[in-house]
């Protein structure tokens, strides 16, 4: 038993002497149970093959020649009988309750390792909580007393450890184009996958940005073995989602029937042929690419073993044997609605960086809640081969996902302004998750968490004026646009004028953010705290100290609205220290290009902030021109080192945009915001050179224009 990030693992091995296949279920066959550090125990099944087949028929909704059993009463009775039999098996393992009780985590992962093919037929997921545990008699996977239990399966054959869990998804959605698979069902599955990919596709509405979606999702209609093999040979996929019916297949040498997927015949859009798990596994390995990490089978009986005289009779079992780390399938008929619930819930959780064990548990719970007339929850079967240290691995995956979600949210702000509704909820959830994860993370990761969260907090307050290089969007105003009757005939001007996202309050009135708003004040204070924390931990991270300095000045400026606020003596001293650090790093010269680029970007930004120094020569236009020339030389050197699309260039442009359009903007009325956005000329030179914020804005604007001319793109886009 090992501690894995809130999930304790309890391993239960069930072994039988002899080969894995060729044995029917029998109450007289002894099995050996090994659980944790407990002694080996003899276990006998409480039913034989005939009893099992009879009860199984009642759970198949009349499929397979048992229409008289397709009644709610018959299914309820069969579920109860099957649950009682599965519980009797677990009750014989006397070491199991103790192993579960000793677990200290909030959840229990019951890892079933099965050596005999006939045991894979049994729906252990239906078992009730064993005797002696809280919640005794309640469904083990649904309603536990104190600790949820997650059941996964494995085969006992030795396999290499799984590859690193993917953080950048590439999904192949292979579906059948046949009258038996309604087009609406295909669309529902496609929409579920698109929604799960929204952090990678820029939070487009329901993920329906075709150009972005194509980078992460490949749709394969009329899927056949050949077309799946061709797709996998052309590109390596991390996830494969198959939507098809299950069907019977006849093993050619023995005549035994087994379950298979009903896919298209090669080159045909009408003919359907059975495809075994071994054949599908071969297609997924075509071209020498790595086998997908996750395969989900939205198909009836994909987890059903079928004939016990055939090795690897289950499609899911065969895929797992071929090296797929996580296979999720149905061991009984799967309803169409249940397949949609499974796809929606499972992929949302998996692509959010959730531990796949917890993701399968959440999916089972969702099936139980939303499909009370069916027992899809009991049909769900999970084959899992997890990393040796799941906690560390899935912490890494979650961190990567939340970082992508935040970056994508920033891209949304750049394109569309303040998000609302689901976009804003997801954006803030990702930032909150980053903060929570950073508290227990290693120092390097915590630094990244701090800086990302600080940026998120800043951008929540950012008015995010439209970038002049962005084309005007056609169509009706979006949720961040405020109608202006005086400009009803000028759509572009109205959009530019009201791009700043107003807040909504309980009365429904729309208003602009200010420091008096608790949300805005809290966001800024959190940002300052995080930047100071990062800089104090590592003074080499100059950008953190610069951001803390700029935000502290901005807060003071808002408190003294209407005044020309330069740096305080304390801020001036800190500015001088940051300039000295940047110059020292550049004089050293013995570090990587990225570090030199960071120092150059810091010095450029400090030149902008230098306009806030209270010294008399700071208002001399000729000296300001010298500062601008020196900053442009640093920009030329920076872009020569890393290029215009490097992170250092994108981050610098984003910072200059903040000075120009937020931190150093004039305190103006609502009407003046509209005038400025409409192109009202700047104030005269006399005002400009005697007003520190205006000087900051002027220099930031000139330097940002320089970056734009060199092809530096809008930052924060997911790549």
> Chain-wide mean pLDDT for the chain?
76
What is the phi/psi pair of residue 427, to 5°?
-60, -50
Q: Is the pLDDT of residue 393 over 70?
A: yes
**Average pLDDT for 231-245:** 94
CA distances from 542 to 17, 534, 538, 539, 584 (A): 66, 10, 9, 6, 12
Query: Would you state the pLDDT for residue 506?
Result: 36
120: DSSP letter: G
458-510, pLDDT tens digit by residue?
544 444 333 333 333 333 333 333 333 333 333 333 223 223 333 333 333 33
d(CA 716, CA 719): 9
Of 102, 122, 130, 124, the closest CA to residue 111 belongs to: 124
Please tell me the pTM assigned to this model: 0.75
693 burial class (0-12, 13-18, 19+ CB within 10 angstroms)?
Answer: buried
Contact status, residue 44 vs residue 27, Cβ threshold 8 Å: yes
527-571, pLDDT tens digit by residue?
787 778 778 878 888 888 998 898 888 878 777 766 778 898 999
Q: Is the pLDDT of residue 154 over 60?
A: yes
Q: Please enumerate, as own/partner, the contacts of 473-480 that have beta carbons within 8 Å and a separation of 24 or more.
A: 478/416, 478/417, 479/420, 479/421, 480/416, 480/417, 480/418, 480/420
**Average pLDDT for 32-37:** 89
Percent of the chain with pLDDT over 70: 71
Q: Is the pLDDT of residue 240 over 90?
A: yes
- Cβ partners under 8 Å of residue 475, min gap 6: none
Q: Is the pLDDT of residue 582 over 80?
A: yes
Question: Of 614 and 43, which is predicted with more confidence?
Answer: 43
Q: CA-based diameter of the chain, in Å?
A: 100
**Average pLDDT for 295-310:** 79
CA distances from 341 to 191, 334, 355, 370 (A): 12, 11, 19, 8
Where b means 16+ CB within 10 Å and e means fewer, 59-74 reads: bbbbbeebeebeeeeb
d(CA 540, CA 599): 9
Of 95, 84, 185, 213, the closest CA to residue 136 belongs to: 84
637-661, pLDDT tens digit by residue?
999 998 998 878 888 988 887 787 7
Name the β-bridge partners of 274. 262
Q: How confident is the model at residue 231 (pLDDT cuts 50, 70, 90)?
A: very high
The angle formed by the CA atoms of residues 419, 424 and 428, to the nearest 5 degrees, is 135
Q: Is the pLDDT of residue 687 over 50?
A: no
Q: Backbone dihedral region of 435: left (phi > 0), alpha (psi from -120 to 50 degrees) or beta?
A: alpha
**Average pLDDT for 311-316:** 74
427: Cα within 13 Å, side-chain hemisphere: 22
d(CA 6, CA 131): 24
d(CA 377, CA 123): 11
Percent of the chain with pLDDT over 90: 27
Q: Backbone dihedral region of 207: left (phi > 0), alpha (psi from -120 to 50 degrees) or beta?
A: left
Query: Would you state the pLDDT for residue 1?
Result: 42
Name the β-bridge partners of 245. 262
């Amino acid at each position: 038993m090992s501690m894995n990030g809130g999930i304790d693992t309890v391993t239960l091995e069930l072994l039988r002497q002899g080969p894995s296949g060729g044995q029917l279920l029998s109450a007289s066959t002894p099995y050996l149970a090994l659980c944790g550090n407990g002694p080996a125990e003899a276990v006998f099944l409480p039913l034989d093959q005939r009893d099992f087949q009879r009860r199984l028929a009642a759970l198949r909704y009349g499929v397979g020649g048992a229409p008289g059993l397709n009644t709610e009463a018959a299914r309820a009775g069969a579920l109860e009988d099957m649950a009682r039999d599965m519980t009797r098996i677990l009750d014989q393992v006397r070491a199991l309750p103790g192993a579960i009780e000793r677990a200290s985590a909030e959840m229990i992962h019951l890892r079933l390792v099965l050596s005999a093919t006939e045991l894979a037929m049994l729906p252990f997921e239906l078992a009730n909580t064993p005797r002696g545990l809280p919640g005794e008699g309640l469904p083990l996977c649904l309603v536990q007393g104190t600790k949820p239990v997650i059941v996964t399966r494995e085969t006992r054959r030795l396999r290499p450890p799984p590859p690193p869990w993917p953080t950048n998804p590439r999904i192949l959605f292979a579906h059948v184009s046949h009258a038996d698979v309604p087009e609406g069902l295909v669309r529902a599955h496609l929409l579920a996958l698109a929604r799960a990919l929204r952090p990678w596709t820029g939070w487009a509405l329901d993920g329906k940005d075709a150009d972005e979606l194509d980078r992460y999702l490949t749709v394969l209609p009329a899927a056949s073995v050949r077309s799946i093999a061709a797709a996998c040979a052309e590109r390596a996929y991390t996830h494969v989602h198959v939507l098809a019916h299950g069907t019977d297949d006849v093993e050619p040498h023995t005549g035994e029937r087994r379950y298979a997927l009903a896919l298209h015949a090669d080159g045909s859009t009408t003919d359907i042929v059975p495809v075994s798990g071994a054949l599908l596994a071969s297609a997924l390995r075509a071209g020498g690419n790595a086998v997908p990490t996750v395969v989900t089978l939205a198909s009836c009986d994909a987890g059903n073993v079928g004939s016990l005289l055939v090795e690897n009779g289950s499609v899911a079992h065969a895929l797992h044997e071929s090296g797929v780390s996580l296979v999720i399938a149905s061991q009984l008929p799967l309803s169409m609605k249940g397949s949609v619930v499974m796809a929606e819930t499972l992929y949302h959780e998996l692509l959010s960086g959730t531990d796949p064990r917890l993701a399968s548990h959440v999916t089972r719970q969702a099936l139980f809640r939303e499909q009370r007339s069916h027992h899809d929850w009991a049909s769900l079967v999970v084959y899992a081969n997890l990393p040796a240290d799941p906690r560390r691995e899935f912490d890494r995956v979650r961190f990567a996902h939340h970082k992508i979600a935040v970056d994508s949210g920033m891209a949304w702000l750049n394109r569309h302004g303040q998000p609302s509704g689901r976009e804003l909820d997801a954006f803030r959830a990702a930032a909150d998750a980053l903060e929570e994860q950073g508290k227990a993370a290693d120092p390097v990761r915590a630094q990244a968490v701090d800086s990302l969260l600080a940026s998120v907090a800043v951008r929540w307050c950012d008015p995010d004026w439209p970038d002049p290089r962005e084309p005007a969007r056609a169509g009706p105003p979006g949720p961040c646009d405020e109608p202006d009757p005086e400009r009803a005939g000028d759509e572009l001007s109205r959009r530019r004028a009201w791009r700043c996202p107003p807040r909504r309050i309980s009365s429904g009135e729309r208003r602009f953010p200010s420091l008096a708003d608790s949300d805005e004040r809290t966001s800024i204070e959190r940002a300052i705290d995080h930047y100071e924390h990062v800089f104090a931990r590592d003074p080499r991270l100059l950008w953190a100290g610069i951001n803390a300095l700029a935000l502290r000045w901005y807060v003071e400026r808002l408190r003294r609205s209407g005044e020309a606020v330069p740096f305080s003596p304390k801020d001036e001293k800190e500015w001088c220290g940051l300039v000295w650090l940047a110059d020292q790093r550049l004089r050293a010269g013995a570090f990587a290009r990225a570090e030199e680029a960071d120092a150059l970007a810091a010095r450029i930004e400090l030149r902008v902030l230098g306009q806030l120094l209270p010294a008399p020569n700071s208002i001399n236009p000729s000296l300001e021109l010298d500062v601008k020339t020196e900053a442009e030389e640093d920009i030329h050197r920076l872009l020569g080192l890393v290029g215009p699309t490097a992170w250092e260039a994108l981050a610098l442009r984003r910072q200059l945009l903040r000075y120009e359009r937020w931190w150093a903007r004039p305190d103006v009325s609502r009407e003046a915001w509209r005038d400025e956005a409409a192109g009202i000329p700047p104030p005269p030179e006399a005002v400009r050179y005697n007003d520190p914020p205006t000087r900051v804005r002027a220099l930031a604007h000139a330097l940002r224009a320089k970056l734009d001319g060199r092809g530096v793109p809008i930052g924060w886009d997911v790549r």
